[in-house]
Amino acid sequence: LKEKIREIETSISQKYPPVKFLSEKDRKRILITGGAGFVGSHLADKLMMDGHEVTVVDNFFTGRKRNVEHWIGHENFELINHDVVEPLYIEVDQIYHLASPASPPNYMYNPIKTLKTNTIGTLNMLGLAKRVGARLLLASTSEVYGDPEVHPQREDYWGHVNPIGPRACYDEGKRVAETMCYAYMKQEGVEVRVARIFNTFGPRMHMNDGRVVSNFILQALQGEGLTVSIICYIFYIYIYMCTYFKGNPEEHTILEFAKLIRGLVGSRSEILSLPEAQDDPQRRNPDISKAKLLLGWEPVVPLEEGLNKTIDYFRKELEYQANNQYI
């Protein structure tokens, strides 16, 4: 049997990243909605390399096949073009529900669609979880705190959200999604987990995402002005890299951040001051003591290391685009 296992591992590792062999009893069938996006594709890598069967469901609104192309054809991997606003009938053991645009320009592009994705889409995934008895994790957000009045933000803070402002489609959409998760847990016994992710960056994030890290890196690489729209903002960065949620428990003003990225890129871009966007949170900073105590989780990737890896990725993406512009 050991020979056979080694044989399978070798044959698979020649074409794909190395995958652990798991016995059928330990191997889970895992659905990742939004798995062709930035965070979801890293999660797909981790779960595939751990030896599970992974189904990625994505409508490719902001995600790309390129993010998961290294798994296409692997017997443990499936990619389905599907919109979670429509029901989905598959058999799985676990669901990671990430499908939703994440950056302000993307979620404001079509606010009604953002609301449908986070409400109807989440309802569909909870219905699926209930039918098949799967555990579901919802990728929620620090935006459920709105423009917080309490610092740092603990899990039991209820937030300060403008329900009719330009960010409401996302903030309120995620708040309803969380409410749905807990209703399905209490009423139907569905096992749920909610992760409130803070502003995250790393390789595979969309270059035109429109968020602060991608904007500053791209602007610095292209010699354009860095658009600082808020200078008193104190900011906490969670870095997503490789396989786990990782981060660096430091606060920085956006201006400091612009200077840091400009220095790391080695750019001479000037720093431009833009008017503040409506309802932009002034300060966000998670209290991670509960995650540390209960999950043993704490940030491990230093800020500059994470930024340098993201800068390298963006450089390669720009080269790739330049070389493929006439295709």
Active-site residues: which are they?
170
Residue 34, contacted partner among ligand NAD, ligand UDP, none, CB below 5-8 A by kind:
ligand NAD
Nearer to ligand NAD among residue 59 and residue 248 (C-beta)? 59
Quick check: helix, strand or coil at residue 135?
strand
- At 292, the amino acid letter reads K
277 binds, among ligand NAD, ligand UDP, none (CB under 5 to 8 A by kind): ligand UDP
- Reduce the secondary structure of 157-216 to three states and give it as a string: CCCECCCCCCCHHHHHHHHHHHHHHHHHHHHHCCCEEEEEECCEECCCCCCCCCCHHHHH
Task: Specify which residues 238 forms β-bridges with.
Answer: 200, 247
Is residue 36 a contact residue for ligand NAD (CB under 6 A)? yes
Site residues (vs ligand UDP, CB under 6 A): 104, 199, 211-212, 215, 227-230, 233, 254, 277, 280
Q: Smaller CB distance to ligand NAD: residue 40 or 203?
A: 40
Q: Minimum CB separation from ligand NAD for residue 37, in Å?
A: 2
DSSP 98-121: --S--SHHHHHHSHHHHHHHHHHH
Binding footprint of ligand NAD, residue count (CB under 6 A): 29
Contact between 141 and ligand NAD per CB under 6 A = yes
Q: Which of 79, 102, 136, 258 binds ligand NAD (CB under 6 A)?
A: 102
CA nearest neighbour of 257 among 320, 325, 199: 199
Q: Which does 100 bind (CB under 5 to 8 A by kind): ligand UDP, ligand NAD, none?
A: ligand NAD
Q: What is the phi-psi region of residue 253: left when phi exceeds 0, alpha when psi lies from -120 to 50, beta otherwise?
A: beta
The residues that touch ligand NAD, with contacts defined as CB under 6 A, are 33-34, 36-40, 58-63, 83-85, 98-102, 117, 121, 139, 141, 197, 199-200, 206
